Amino acid sequence: MRRKLGLEALAFLVLVGVVAYVPHVVSDFHSRELAQVGMYFIALIGLNVLTGYSGQISLGHGAFMAIGGYTSAVLIADHGLRDVWTIPIAGVVAGIAGLLVGLPALRISGMYLALVTFGIAVAFPQLPKKYGHFLGGSSGKSTGLYKSEFGIHTTPNHWLYYLTWVIALVLLAAAWALLRGRMGRTLQALRDSEVAAVSSGVNVALYKTSAFGISAFYAGVAGSLFGIASFLVTPDSFPILLSVYLVVGLVAGGLGSLAGAIGGAALVFYLDNHADAVARWANHLPGLSVDPKQQGISSVVFGAVLILVMLVLPTGVGGFLRRVLRPLTSRLYTRS
């Protein structure tokens, strides 16, 4: 056990070192893109708590991200709070919303729960239009310009990168500590057999709603960062497809794999924003004729690459990492 903890701690320190080093070797623009990958990563950590560990399927996490984004926008625009200080508040507000959704969700499960949460994602964009005096309507709510804090003087994009990934690493460590203990084991027991968990004395309502609240908190933090990065929060900032993309990233990263969520986040972000580059590359392959400018080609490329990834990595990035590292870890455990 100690050897395993040491390996996980070492892996985390390596990740911290990589995150700290990356801005020194990439451009300012790419730092901004990697910051957005970090935002997806934060949301996927939370979704992993809900779906990967407790087995509750949610197609509505884009709505929780929107709650976080609008919370920050209102606090910045109407109450003059600094952008950084609104992030934890946005997470708490989204977390409370998650708890409220989790209570009625106790009566349903599986695809029925997925349908209900998807309905929330579909309905939420209409709320800012309905309450335009408070949420800005269709024109949205400005979050202003993010400013350097804590004496760090760098470009806005590098600052956004550091802000996002520091928060991501802290939340990753918190999720790891939470899930490797009693709560993680209990959530997995509920996922594998709710009947057996109940017979063992598990409080199903407490753990299921807690998973919803924690997951929504992470989504709210990610949504807050999205709003701060884009300077403006509108109903179109968090489209319905965002909830679907999060589930795609979760599966591609590997259910139950916190580290694999980085790969899932990167895949979703770059496919969504650079599918045309993939199309241009594919156009040079023999026997293929792909016009990157053709309408809808980005969606075709997104789907094709996703199918290919899942065929090659059926257990996601997390499963691939476990297979690659198993010989090393098995040898170390045997020696211990």
Find out whether 73 and 227 touch, Cβ atoms under 8 Å.
yes
- 20-58: burial string, b at 16+ Cβ within 10 Å, e else: eeebeeeeeeebbbbbbbbbbbbbbbbbbbbbbbbbbbb
Name residue 142's beta-bridge partners.
232
Q: Give the DSSP letter string of 33-81.
A: HHHHHHHHHHHHHHHIIIIIIT----S-HHHHHHHHHHHHHHHHHHH--
Specify if 211 maps to a domain. Answer: yes
Specify if 303 maps to a domain. Answer: no
pLDDT of 148 > 70? The answer is no
Specify if 64 maps to a domain. Answer: yes
Specify if 159 maps to a domain. Answer: yes
Structure tokens at 273: 């924003």
89 versus 314: the higher-pLDDT residue is 89
What pLDDT sits at residue 301?
A: 74
Mean pLDDT, rounded, for 185-198: 86
What is the number of domains present in the chain? 1
Across all residues in the chain, what is the average pLDDT? Answer: 84
Structure tokens at 237: 């900032």
Min mean pLDDT across 9-18, 76-85, 159-168, 301-310 is at 301-310
Per DSSP, which regions of 168-286 are E strands? 232-233
- For 279-294, the pLDDT digits (tens) are 676 666 665 666 666 6
pTM greater than 0.85 (yes/no): yes
Confidence of residue 73 (pLDDT cuts 50, 70, 90): very high
Specify if 273 maps to a domain. Answer: no
Specify if 239 maps to a domain. Answer: yes
Q: What is the spatial distance between Cα 215 and Cα 43, in angstroms, rounded to a whole number?
A: 8
Specify if 44 maps to a domain. Answer: yes
Specify if 60 maps to a domain. Answer: yes
The residue segments making up the domain with residue 42 are 25-258
